[in-house]
């Protein structure tokens, strides 16, 4: 009887297995702060997608694409009431959330539109850096030999140049150029410059992970069954390090946003449309006039998104990396 009961207990304790991603998502849901940060990221991303779609569809009334429209008097303070004359001649009492700039344009609209610019640049730069760094790192770590030496030489050479100086040099070279019939200006030159210079870190990381896993049992089994090197790399090794790529992307996204702000601040980024860096650059001269709200709006938007990305990236790393799991 005892033997039968113990057998039943063992059978009842058997639980269905979870994949790495399913287990990571389950752990992530238990972190309220991480989920709040995820909601903030979704709001920023949804705003950028909505603005992009609104510009393509011509929904000018539904979007803030008309950021250049004068909405009030110059240097209007946040939430300060003022009279506004409508097109029909009637007067209306209005308030601007973040005030207006020296031309009377809404700082709130410009801040929202700056989110589209920064997120677009960061996303495009991330995809370009992953497209270069991940295959190079995987090939160098798997084949070693002269391929690895060549990739390491390129990595070491780029590492000797300060990152921001390298980005600025590429931004200046690519600006106002025509490549494959595409005229590079403003935002396009910025994300190309960042993507072509920021793949070094992810390449080095993937190279190290592939070196650690290339002699694993599942790789040896794949070789024994006659799998080609390309299939082993892209069907067996890279899927097992994909969670590291996602974690690295979430943490580096903040760096791309900051780089875009710096380039726009220096006049090498987007000049035709609002961006957070351009807003900070134009607002610094107005601080002497006690016009603080434009600088505050841009820095607050950058701070909130950067904090959400950093906290969510840390939580994602803890939930997906088996070595860091504590629950």
**% of the chain at pLDDT higher than 70:** 81
Residue 101 lies in a domain: no
Residue 57 lies in a domain: yes
Residue 8 lies in a domain: no
50-98 pLDDT per residue, tens: 777 776 666 555 555 566 677 777 778 888 777 766 666 667 777 777 8
Mean predicted confidence (pLDDT) in 257-274: 77
Q: Give CA–CA dist 116/32, Å, rounded.
A: 27
- The burial class, CB within 10 Å (0-12 / 13-18 / 19+), for 64 is buried
CB distance 225 to 238 below 8 Å: no
Residue 87 lies in a domain: no
Residue 84: enclosing H or E segment and its boundaries? Answer: strand 82-85
Residue 91 lies in a domain: no
Distances (CA, A) of 264 to 32, 47, 140: 34, 20, 35
User: Domains in the chain: how many in total?
Assistant: 1
Residue 262 lies in a domain: yes
At 2 the pLDDT is 47
Torsion sign over Cα 257, 263, 266, 272 = negative
Domain range for 143 is: 38-69+106-324
6-52 pLDDT per residue, tens: 444 444 444 455 666 677 778 888 888 989 999 998 988 888 887 77
Residue 3 lies in a domain: no
Closest CA to 70 of 42, 109, 37: 109
For position 262, which CATH number holds? 1.10.3720.10
Distances (CA, A) of 59 to 116, 118, 167, 257: 16, 21, 35, 27
């Amino acid at each position: 009887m005892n033997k039968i009961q113990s057998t039943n207990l063992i059978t009842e304790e058997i639980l269905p297995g979870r994949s790495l991603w399913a287990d990571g998502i389950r752990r992530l849901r238990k972190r309220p702060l991480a989920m709040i940060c995820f909601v903030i990221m979704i709001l920023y991303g949804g705003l950028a997608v909505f603005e992009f779609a609104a510009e393509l569809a011509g929904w000018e009334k539904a979007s803030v694409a008309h950021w250049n429209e004068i909405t009030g008097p110059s240097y209007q303070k946040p939430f300060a009431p003022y009279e506004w004359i409508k097109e029909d001649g009637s007067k209306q009492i209005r308030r601007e959330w973040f005030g207006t700039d020296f031309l009377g344009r809404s700082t709130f609209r410009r801040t929202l539109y700056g989110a589209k610019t920064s997120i677009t640049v960061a996303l495009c730069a991330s995809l370009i850096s992953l497209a270069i760094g991940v295959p190079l790192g995987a090939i160098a770590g798997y084949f070693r030999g002269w391929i690895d030496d060549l990739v390491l030489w390129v990595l070491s050479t780029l590492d000797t140049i300060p990152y921001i100086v390298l980005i600025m040099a590429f931004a200046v070279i690519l600006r106002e150029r025509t490549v494959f019939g595409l005229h590079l200006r403003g935002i396009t030159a910025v994300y190309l410059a960042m993507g072509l210079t920021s793949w070094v870190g992810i390449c080095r990381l993937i190279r190290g992970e592939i070196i650690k896993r290339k002699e694993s049992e599942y790789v040896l089994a794949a070789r024994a069954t006659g799998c080609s090197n390309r299939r082993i790399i892209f069907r067996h090794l890279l899927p097992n390090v994909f969670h590291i790529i996602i974690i690295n992307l979430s943490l580096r996204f903040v760096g791309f946003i900051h780089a875009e702000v710096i380039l726009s601040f220096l006049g090498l980024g987007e000049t035709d449309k609002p961006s957070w860096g351009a807003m900070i650059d134009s607002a610094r001269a107005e601080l002497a006039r006690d016009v603080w709200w434009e600088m505050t709006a841009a820095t607050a938007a950058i701070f909130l998104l950067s904090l959400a990305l950093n906290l969510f990236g840390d939580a994602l790393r803890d939930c997906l990396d088996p070595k860091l799991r504590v629950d």
